[in-house]
Chains A and B, each alone.
Chain A
């Protein structure tokens, strides 16, 4: 596990610190065992979901629950036959396009609010974050009316716009914290050398904040892919995303657990994998960069 090595490296960097950890890691401790038990407990529902996805319906409905069975791909095949492809495409489209829009709007805004602060920077920051504090329900009725009036009901672009608005405040705050870390001397040096603003942005700043841009994109991806409230209220058949597909699946097909598990696995897997790969960036992103 690459993540394991990076964490160990990070915490072992100071010498005394390293000694402490090495001493402890030699003997298997009760705490390590406890941590493993907790981790397996928390992971269990996910494990069970994936496991059930490979069962036949009869195995999924057994009492006591079956751990050993002949795995089958029937459920995934079944889910594909019900047209999950369109929902996956819709989810992917809304996620990717809204994330790109968020970055296009959010990165310049964060730049304006950090390295070249404008008047009333604090007010602007406060406004962005305050939109996250408001319950979405208060806006859903007019949103429904507006969206249906401009003909975007059950149209994926409605979700693209709303997901952009949903993630933009987070992106502005996150990116601002990354921009603030760019050393001022570096910019001064660039401008001394006669670099134009655009050149120093391109040559100096962007390379430094690109990990931050990646982290921001990851967070936006997770939130957009998993979003349900807008999707269930503003889409129907054509523009339904994968969480909405799962709901329709239940009412339409009755409760086929194994097949439902296969659908749930397909819905959850892309984000789980992305999150696993980039887990070190997660905290920073989720705390809007407040935690370094």
Chain B
């Protein structure tokens, strides 16, 4: 009884304190609000200035007919650039390649990463070294990595891939020019698989072992355990990996620049590379800007969906841990 009374008294006093605090907060809320916001503002302002102003300029340029090769040609053309962009078959091809590169790379990297993570989740001799070796492709400067794939691995005469395949009767194939998109994808998969592996491995190691033990005691087979327990637990790790991978892969440039230059023709150019070509080699600022805006709008649509996934992953932190 006394304890209940005490508790009520405690709650009452707590409430009083809270009310006082609230009143106090209301009176100084402005100053306190600014004091709280203070640390945030430099970063926020910096980001707005550096990222939003250029984008506004892009939108403005996209309404201009502006080619640096023809001085004095600059004029307002409204939506003409956008009309041209949608008529441009090369742009469509680049857009298609972009999607193909992202989806293909993410899918293959996730599957390979999952397999490698499952291997690394077991104990074996030299596991730490194996993990160290496996994460290295992610650390290599992408320009250097792409260069190595083009020359050391895929070269028709001196490449290791042809050397390894030669006993199987495969003739000398110029991989990069015959399968340019696949060659770029091989390089990207090599670079991104370690990232997926690390993420999924973190997921595996955060998994409560007793659940698996219980499942085993109940007589479930390895595959059933994997499908019913491990895979659902890994889902948000895989989702996060796919979303983050896609975010970075939208901007793929190094690999294409170093390996194929978007060629042959435009067979392997993605949107970043095609827009770069238009702007810095074709000097067509208006066109390139319109393409940039179209790319951004398309990305925002996809990214909004992706962001929901990320936010779900973040807010679902406790229940999954």
Contact = CB atoms under 8 A, between A and B. Distances in A.
B217 to A, nearest CB: 12
A109 interface: yes
Q: Determine the interface band of chain A, counting residues with CB < 8 A from chain B.
A: 35 or more
Interface string B245-264: 00100110110011000000
B137 A46 contact: yes
B104 to A, nearest CB: 18
Contact of A39 (B58, B133, B285): B133
Contacts of B203: 291
A272 B127 contact: no
Contact of B134 (A43, A141, A162): A43
Contact of B244 (A222, A279, A287): A287
Given A139-B51, A165-B50, A291-B237, A46 B127 contact: no
A145 B57 contact: yes
A275 B138 contact: yes
Given A124-B44, A271-B141, A279-B135, A20 B209 contact: yes
Given A35-B127, A292-B317, A228 B276 contact: no
Top-4 shortest CB links A-B: A4-B128, A32-B124, A142-B57, A108-B39
A17 B123 CA distance: 11
A39 B134 contact: yes
Interface stretch (B5-13, B72-80, B194-202): B194-202
Interface string B203-235: 101100110010000000000000000000000
B288 interface: yes
Contacts of B276: 137, 140, 233
A3 B206 contact: no
> How many B residues touch the partner, as a band?
35 or more
Contacts of B292: 135, 137-141
B313 interface: yes
Given A42-B193, A128-B47, A136 B251 contact: yes
Contacts of B213: 16
A168 B140 contact: no
A62 interface: yes
B23 interface: no
B71 interface: no
Contacts of A62: 158
A257 B151 contact: yes
Contacts of A7: 127-128, 131
A243 B124 contact: no
